[in-house]
Structure 1
Amino acid sequence: MGFFSKRSKKQQDKKQEDFTLDIYKDLDKNISNLKVMLEEPNDLVIREFTAGHTDHKCALVFIDGLVDKNLINNNILKNLQVMAEWKDLPVTNANLFNDIKQELVSISDVSTGENLDDVSNALLYGSAILYINGVRKAIIADVKGWETRSIDQPPSETIIRGPREGFIENFRTNMVLIRRYIRDPNLRFNTYDVGRRSKKKLALTYVDGIIHPDLLKEVKRRLSSIDMDSAPESGYIEQWIEDSFLSPFPQMLNTERPDAVAEALLEGKFAIILDGTPFVLIAPATIGNTLQAPEDYYERWWIGTGLRMLRYLAAFLAMFLPALYIALVSYHQGMIPTKLAFSIAASREGVPFPSVVEAFLMGITMELLREASVRLPKAIGQTIGIIGGLVIGEAAVNAGVVSPIMVIVVALTAIASFSVPAYSVAISFRLLRFGVMLAAAILGLYGIILAYIMINIHIVNLKSIGVPYSSPFAPTFFQDWKDLVFRAPIPVLTKRPGYLLPDDKKSADKKGR
C-alpha cells in the first residue's frame, strides 16, 4: 500500500510541475497548460481559428454537454470568423482583446479571466473560454446550455388549491421563480461557491428592510464557515449550519414551492438556494411552522383553522397513540370503559406477546413497508404499501401474533404521520414514537408524561439560527398567536411575526398575496 501511495504522490508532484496557474502570451502553451490540468477529457472541445483574414490566432475552449452550441456558433465563432472580415482589427494585442470582447462576442454575460483558476472554474460551470495569441488573459463567455427538467408541480407537496409550479435543479430558474412572486427592488441574492471540489453555486436570499440585521449577519457567518469537498443536496448545508446536530427535529424547513419561499421571505426569514437540487431551505423555523401548509391561506380562515387543528391532532396521534395503547392495556386497565376493556381482552386472547412487543413488531413492520414502498418504482411501491399492509395485518391477526385492535392502532398512527406537512418532521415523530412506547412500557402513563415533558424541555431549549424553536409559544408573542394553531382572517393579519423582530413590522397583507 505504501508503494502505491508514494507513486500517487509522485504523479501529483509531476502534474503540479507540468502546469501553472498563469495565463501566457503563447496560445499553444495556454492550451497545453489547460489540457494537463484536466488530463485531456474526452468532452473537452478546443476550436482553433484565426480572426477574419488576419493572422491573429485564437482558440475557443468549452466542455461538450455543458454549453449551448448554437450560442457558440452564432454569437462567437460566426462573429470572429465572418463579421471580423468587415472590421479592421487593431494590430496591438491589448486593443485586439478589448475590441473582440466589446464588439465581436455578442453574449450578454462576458468577463475576463486573469489566471488558470478563473478559467477552469468557469469552464467547468458551462462557460466558453476564448484565448487570443499574445494576450495574457482570456475572455469568459457564459453560454450554459445543459439539459434541465421542466417546471412542474412539486411531487412532494401537492395541494388542491394554489400554484402548480415548483423549483427544479437549475439555479437561475429557481431565482427567477422567486422574483416572479416578489417584485421588490429590496429582494437580495447573495451568492457563494460551496465545495472545494464541486464549487457549486449557493444563493442566500432575503428581503432587505424586513429581515433583522443580526439574523442576516449570523447566517452569513455560518455560510462562510462551510468547508467541504462537495454539497450534492441542500441537506448538507442544513446539517452544517444548524444549531444542534443532536436534535431529532429539523431546525430548517425545506420546500419545492416558490410561493412558500416568497411567503417566508416576506415574514422576515431567509432562504438558501443550492444549484442542483429543487429543495430550498427556509429558516428560522419553529415548531408551529412545521404544522402549517400554504393551502391554509388559500382557503377561508375557518377552513384553514380546521385543517391546522386537524394536523395538531395528527401530530399527537403519530407520536403518542401506540404508547397510550401500551400504557392502558398493561398498567391502567381501569381507565378503559368496561365494554371496550372486555372487547380488547377478548381480541388479545391467545396473543403470545405482551402489548409492548406487539406494538414494536407492528410498528417496525409498518416502517419497513413504508421504506420499501418509497424505494420501489412508483406503481409497484403504491401496490406494495397498500397490499402489503392489508395482507400482513390480516395474516398476523389470523395467526394470533397480534390483536385486531393493535392493527387499528398502527393504521391510525400511520395515517396520522402522513398528515404532517413537513416530511422531515414526520420522520422525527416516527422515531420519537418508539422512545415514548418504551417509556410507556416501563412506567405506564407516568412514563408518557415524563417523555412528553422531556420533549418539551428539548424544544424550549432548541434554537433555529438563534431564534427559539418554541416561538411564539415560549417566549410568548401573543400577537403571533393569530397565525399559530388558529388562522385568523387575512385582513386581521397586519403584522409580521414578532419573534423574528423584523425591521418592517407592519404589512397590509402579511402573506404578500
Structure 2
Amino acid sequence: MTIWSRLYRGIHSIHKASKSSASSSNEQPPVGSRSNHVSYNPSLKVRLDWIKAQFNDCFDVIYRQFVLTTGHSCAVIYIKGMINQDTIQEFIIKSLLNETAGLTHDNVYELLFEDNSLSVSQNQIITDLDKGLSAILDAGALLLIDGDIRMLTFAISAYPTRSISEAPNESVIRGPREAFIEDLDTNITFLRRRIKNKDLKIESMIIGQKSQTKIVLAYVNGICKPELIQEVKKRLSYIEVDGVLGTSYLEEVIEDNPYSPFPQLQYTERPDVACASMLEGRITIFADGTPTSLIAPVTLPILMQAAEDYYQRYTAATWIRWIRYFFLFVSLLLPSLYIAITTFHPEMIPSQLLITLAASREVVPFPAFLEAVMMELAFEALREASVRIPKSIGQSVSIIGALIIGTAAVQAGIVSAAMVIIVSLTGIASFIIPHYDLGLTIRLLRFPIMFFASLFGLYGVACGVILIYIHLINLKSFGLPYLSPITPFVKDEMKDTFVRAPWWSMLRRPLHLTRNDTRQKNNSRRWSQQTGEQE
C-alpha cells in the first residue's frame, strides 16, 4: 500500500467520523431524559410533555392549562393534596387573567418576570426544569407560559399537619407543654419564638437520593464551636442513601462509635430542651417529617437530666437527680447482686432473711440465674406488648398481666416470690431514667452482668461494671468525652451534673461545649448584697 492510499483512507475515515458525530448531534434526546435542551425550549408543549413524561403514572399531579386574553397559553402544575387549590384559582390563575387583561403581547412577559405583580409573594423565577420538578415535589406550584423559557415557582404548600400537642415521652408538671410535630417549618418557628436573636442560624441541606428529605441544622453563632458545625456538616455530607425518613437514619451514620450500646446523640421532642441545648453550645438536627430532633454532642450526665429540673427549685431538682443516679445502678445491678449473693455469698444475708429465701426457693427447680432471666424476659415482653397494643387497653394489660403472671409463677413453683420482687423493683427503677434510649441500654446491659454474676459472683459483677466504665471513658460524642465533666474531672463544671446549682450561681457555660463560656456577666442576685449594705 502506497503512502497516497494510506493518506486517502485516513482522510476518508475522518470524514465518516465527522459525519456520524454531526448526525448524532442532530438527534433529539428522548423526552424522559434530563437534558437541558428542553429547559431552553420556549415551547409550552415541549416542556409540558417533558414534565408529563417525568410524572408518568402519577395520577395526583395536576396540569391546569388556560389561555390569557393576549393569546398566551399557560399551565400550572402541582400535586393534589399538597397545594390549596383555591389559592391556585384565586391568586394565580384569576390574578393572572385580571392583570393581563388589555395588555399587548410583549407586555405579558414583563408583567410576569419583571414587575412581579401576582398576588402570591413567595415566588421565584427559574429556567431549569429540574428545579421546577423539585419545586413541585416540595409542595409548590410551577407556572409555565408559551414563548418564554422562564418559569415561576410558588411556595404555597397547604398539606395537612398534626396539631400541636404535649410531648408524650417528656411530660412535665411545670414548664411548657408544646412539642415538635412532623412539619419542619413549625418546628423552626418554635426555635425562633424562644431565641429572638440574629445569631440563631438555620441551615438546610437535602439528603436522600429518592426521598429528597430536607435536613436542618440549628445553632447559635458565637456560642457553638465552628469546628463542631463543620464536623456535623462533613458527616452528613457523606450520607448517600435512597431515603431518609427520620432522624434515626442519621444517628447511626454520624455517631462516633456505631457499635456502642450507649446513645451518642440526644433525642428530644421539646422545643425548650432544644433551645437550652443550643444556648450551651450544642447543635440541633431536624429532619422533615419527624417530630423529634437530634442534639449533638451529648454526655452521660446530660442524659440523666430532665426538662423539669430547670422548672423547679434547685433543692428539689438536686434531690431528684440523686434518686435517678441511685436507681440507675439499681436497674443495672439489682438482679445481678441477688444472683451473686444467693449463689456464691449467702453468708452476707442475715440469718432470718436467709431462712425465708431458702424456704421460698425450696420448690423452685431452676438456678437463680435462669429464674432471673425468665422473669426479666417476661417483664420485657409485657413492656413491649403495652407499647404495641392500643392505648385504651395497654396500661391495663401490662398491670394485670404482670400481676397474673407473677402470682401464677410463684404458685406453680417456677420462680420464687423474692425474684418477683427483685424484677419488679428493677422494672420500676428503669422507668425513672429520663431518656428512653439510655434506659434501653441499661436494660440491655443487665443481662451480661447477670451472666457474669452467675459465673463469678460479686467478682463477676465488679468485672462487668469495670468493663462498662472502661468503655464509657473511651467513648466520645463528636470528640467530647462521654463522661465529661466527671472524667476528665473539671471542678468548675460540676454545678449541673449530680446537683443542679441555683441559676444565679451558674455564671458560665460548660467550657467543654463552647469557647464563649459567659452565661451571666454578673451574679443576678447582687441586688441582695446592695440591700444588705444599705441595712
Q: Please, what TM-score do these two structures have when normalized by structure 2?
A: 0.89
- Equivalent of residue 367 in structure 1, options 380, 383, 386: 380
Corresponding residue to 1:422 among 426, 431, 435: 435
* 2:146 corresponding residue in structure 1: 133
- Structure 2 residue aligned with 1:76: 92
- Residues 505 and 523 in structure 2, CA contact (< 8 A), matched pair in contact too: no
Q: Secondary structure at the match of 2:249?
A: helix
Please show how residues 84-163 of structure 1 align to structure 2 within 5 Å. 84-85=100-101, 88=103, 91=106, 95-99=110-114, 102-104=116-118, 106-163=119-176
- Aligned match of 1:324 in 337, 361, 375? 337
Letter in 2 for 1:49: F
- Does the residue aligned with 1:82 lie in a helix, a strand or coil? helix
User: Following the alignment from structure 2 to structure 1, what is the Cα–Cα distance between the partners of residues 408 and 472?
Assistant: 40
The residue correspondences of 1:205-354 to structure 2 (distance < 5 A) are 205-354=218-367
- The question of whether the paired residues in 1 share the 8 Å contact of 2:31 and 2:50 is answered with no
Whether contact under 8 Å (1:89, 1:96) holds in the other structure is: no
The match for 2:19 is none
- Which residue in 1 is equivalent to 2:82? 66
Contact 1:171–1:273 under 8 Å retained in 2: yes
Q: Secondary structure at the match of 1:409?
A: helix
Q: Does the aligned pair in 2 maintain the 1:111–1:140 contact within 8 Å?
A: yes
Per-residue Cα deviation, 1:119-170 (whole angstroms, up to 9, x for no partner) = 1111011000000111123211001000000111111111111101000000
Equivalent pair of 1:320/1:436 in contact (CA under 8 Å): yes
With 113-122 and 414-423 compared, the bigger mean Cα shift is at 113-122
Q: Match for residue 449 of structure 1? A: 462
Which of 486, 496, 503 aligns to 1:490? It is 503
2:53 match: 36
Kindly provide the CA deviation profile for residues 295-331 of structure 1, in whole angstroms up to 9, marking residues without a partner as x: 0010000100011111111211111111011001101
Question: Is the 8 Å Cα contact of residues 291 and 421 (structure 1) preserved in structure 2?
Answer: yes
Report if the CA contact (8 A) 1:191-1:204 is conserved: yes
Other structure's SS at 1:193 match: strand
Question: Which is higher, the Rg of structure 1 or of structure 2?
Answer: 2
Query: Which of 471-480 and 141-150 deviates more?
Result: 471-480
- Report the alpha carbon displacement of residue 116 of structure 1 after superposing the two structures with TM: 2.3
What whole-Å deviation, never above 9, does each CA across 1:324-379 have from its counterpart, x for those lacking one?
11001101111112222112111111100000000000001111111111111101
**Which has the higher mean CA deviation after the structures are superposed, 177-186 or 501-510?**
501-510
State whether structure 2 residue 381 is matched by structure 1 residue 358.
no
Contact 1:223–1:241 at 8 Å: present in 2 too?
yes
CA shift, 1:510, in A, is: 12
Q: Greater RCO between the two (CA within 8 Å, min separation 6)?
A: 1
C-alpha contact 2:298 2:477 (8 A) present in aligned 1: yes
Counterpart amino acid of 1:501?
T
Q: Distance in 1 between matches of 2:155 and 2:184?
A: 14
Q: Does 1:20 align with 2:40?
A: no
Checking the alignment, whether the CA contact within 8 Å between 1:21 and 1:115 is kept in structure 2 is no
Measured after TM superposition, the shift of residue 47 of structure 1 is: 0.7
- Judge which range, 253-262 or 491-500, deviates more: 491-500
Q: How far is 1:462 from its partner?
A: 0.7
Partner of 1:11: none
2:356 is aligned with what amino acid? S
Conservation of the 8 A alpha-carbon contact between 1:167 and 1:174: yes
Equivalent pair of 1:477/1:498 in contact (CA under 8 Å): no
Could you tell me whether the CA contact under 8 Å between 1:194 and 1:202 is conserved in 2? yes
- The equivalent position to 2:201 in structure 1, one of 176, 182, 188, is 188
Q: Find the aligned partners of 1:292 and 1:358 in 2 and give their Cα distance.
A: 34
- Do the aligned partners of 2:300 and 2:482 also contact (CA within 8 Å) in 1? yes
SS of the aligned residue for 2:34 comes to coil
Moved over 6 A (4+): none
Counterpart Cα distance in 2 of 1:341 and 1:459: 36
Q: How does 1:496-507 map to 2 (within 5 A)?
A: 496-507=509-520
Secondary structure of 1:161's counterpart equals coil
CA distance in 2, matches of 1:311, 1:198: 40
Q: How many residues align?
A: 494
Q: Which amino acid in structure 2 is aligned with residue 26 of structure 1? A: S
* Partner-residue secondary structure (3-state), 2:291: coil
In 2 relative to 1, CA 348–268 (structure 1 residues): closer, same or farther, beyond 3 Å? same
- Quote the Cα distance in structure 1 between the aligned partners of 2:436 and 2:426: 15
1: CA distance between counterparts of 2:171 and 2:88? Answer: 40
Deviation for aligned residue 1:99: 4.0
Secondary structure, counterpart of 2:117 in structure 1: helix
8 Å Cα contact 2:280-2:514 kept in structure 1: no
Q: Which runs of 5+ in 2 are unaligned?
A: 1-27, 525-535
2:62 equivalent to 1:48 = no
Q: Contact 1:319 / 1:430 at 8 angstroms: preserved in 2?
A: yes
Match of 1:168 in 2: 181
Q: CA deviation at 1:265?
A: 0.4
Cα gap change, 1:340 to 1:15, in 2 (>3 Å)? farther
* 2:267 and 2:294 in contact (8 A); partners too: yes
Query: SS where residue 482 of structure 1 aligns?
Result: coil
The 2-side partners of 1:178 and 1:480 are apart by: 26
* C-alpha separation in 2, matches of 1:15 and 1:419: 64
- Conserved 8 A contact 2:111-2:117: no
Q: Which amino acid aligns with 1:120?
A: L
CA contact (8 A) 2:280 2:510 kept: yes
CA distance, structure 1, for counterparts of residue 424 and residue 67 of structure 2: 73
- 1:155-188 CA deviation, whole Å, 9 max, x = no partner? 1111111101000000000000011111111000
Say whether the 8 Å CA contact 1:61–1:128 is kept in structure 2.
Answer: yes
Is 1:471 the counterpart of 2:484 in the alignment? yes
Write the letter of the residue equivalent to 2:205. Y
Q: Offset of 1:117 from its aligned partner?
A: 1.6
Distance in 2 (CA, whole Å) between partners of 1:108 and 1:434 is 60
What is the CA RMSD across the aligned residues, in angstroms?
1.8
Q: TM-score, normalised by structure 1?
A: 0.93
1:401: how far off?
Answer: 0.3
Q: Which runs of 5+ in 1 are unaligned?
A: 1-13
**Offset of residue 74 of structure 1:** 2.1
Counting aligned pairs with the same residue, the percent is: 41
* Partner in structure 1 of residue 11 of structure 2: none
8 Å Cα contact 1:243-1:465 kept in structure 2: yes
Question: What is the deviation of 1:415?
Answer: 0.6
Query: 2: CA distance between counterparts of 1:373 and 1:283?
Result: 31
